[in-house]
Structure 1
Amino acid sequence: MTTTATVGSLLRTWRERRGISQLELAGRADSSSRHISFVETGRSRPSEEMVLRLAEHLDVPVRDRNALLLAAGYAPRYAHTPLDDPSMEVLREALERLLTGYEPYPALVVDATYDVVAANRGIMMLLEGMPEHLLAGPLNAMRLTLHPEGLAPRIHNLAEWRGHLLAQMERQIALARSAPLRALYEEVSAYPVPAAAAERPGEDAPDGALASIALPLRIEHDGHLLSFVSSISTFNTPMDVTVAELAIETLLPADPATVKYLRSLAP
């Protein structure tokens, strides 16, 4: 027998996941701990406005806010529009302009499970020589990076970078409890580490202020060692599930040699 979760139980789960007490949540949402308790136990049905207010203060992802509204008996507030829908043309064009404008440096856009929805020529340069089976179907940034036949053998600080990526996924899973993301994590974390990509002893990090303040991705391309610092951007106040789950990652050159090399490859 399947039991449907109530809005109260869902809100309690999110509150406990965030480590917030009923009193603290009540203060943030301009309510009372008594009312929060009544909502969680089902003694009180929250208004649509209250559901959204609590979801906002609990930092509930947009996709799950729809689930809260449905559980409370209200219609979903946020659309889930495919990125290839005609109504998304303006967004697609804006993303393409952003990625193209960032060239010759690498940049890409991924969805909630790291499938690549757009990438510029800087990214495609890094993927040169990859086996066809990794490039077939939807590209996945985590698979491409950590697979032993992917970028992993080319990454000089793979142990550190792999640890950073897996920790990033663990944090996302803890926040969103996404089954597809958990499945991806189980897959990529089980990949064997290529022997050729073990940490190179005695190698000094390239000169560059950025590499000294953030973990750089140190990756080889055509005999040149490149160094990047990753930056990830998301949309503020998204009103669509698809938009809420997009992330724009830009790889910022972390040393002058990387800048010079990438500029030399630019058309």
Structure 2
Amino acid sequence: MNVWEALAVLAAGVGAGAINAVVGSGTLFTFPVLLALGFAPITATVSNSIGLAPGSLTGAIGYRRELRGQRSRVLRFGFMSLLGAVTGGVLLLNLPEDVFRLVVPVLILLACTLIVVQPRLNAWLRRRRPARPNGGPLLPVGVYGAGVYGGYFAAAQGIILVGLMGLSLDEELQRLNALKNALTFIVNATAAVFYIAFATPDWRVVGLIAGGSVVGGYLGARFGRRLRPAALRVLVVVIGLTAAVQLLSDAFTG
């Protein structure tokens, strides 16, 4: 890479770290840049996943106040996220790249739909059954599925998590976002360890994205915590729809 290419990767890392902290779709900043610079898709995915892990940590730390009182959730769902990330890493290294090309946009669109209808749907569910502090028996399965997706590709896993948890947990959106950041850090860190052990990352890319994502994660957390729930919901949906459109376009043109 020349200097300008390195700066482009670094800037993409900053943007990805910020968006991951606020919503969760940062890979859609970094992945296209790496492909445009000529990196193979698997190498780009592996290097990107390792590089974004430190930024996920700063994003989770930035939301530490909203994480208070959610220790049991982090432990319960974090274990499922870890298992899912390992499963996703195995799939990435052993399945053809086209497997999830059409499935991924569908998952993102479903998550966006859940976020849009979440307030009214939650109100209806509350009339049908009492609130469940841990989301009931099916939420861990959904968190595991999001971990598989995150370990495989990572883009918009935060949107999927917020959609699932918003539907299942009786909790305000900012606290859900904090829990999402903790879980995505577990997924990204687990995938990073897996890829370091079993894949071949480009360490130049890893270093640039890691440095950028740490800065972006810190800035994104400071900004995202100040958003009102309605504004955060709109931002999640807009980025999610953009991600789905981009992935569908890539699937049909690629």
TM-score by length of 2: 0.29
Between Structure 1 and Structure 2, which shows a larger proportion of helix residues?
2
TM-score by length of 1: 0.28
Task: Indicate the structure (1 or 2) with the bigger Cα radius of gyration.
Answer: 1
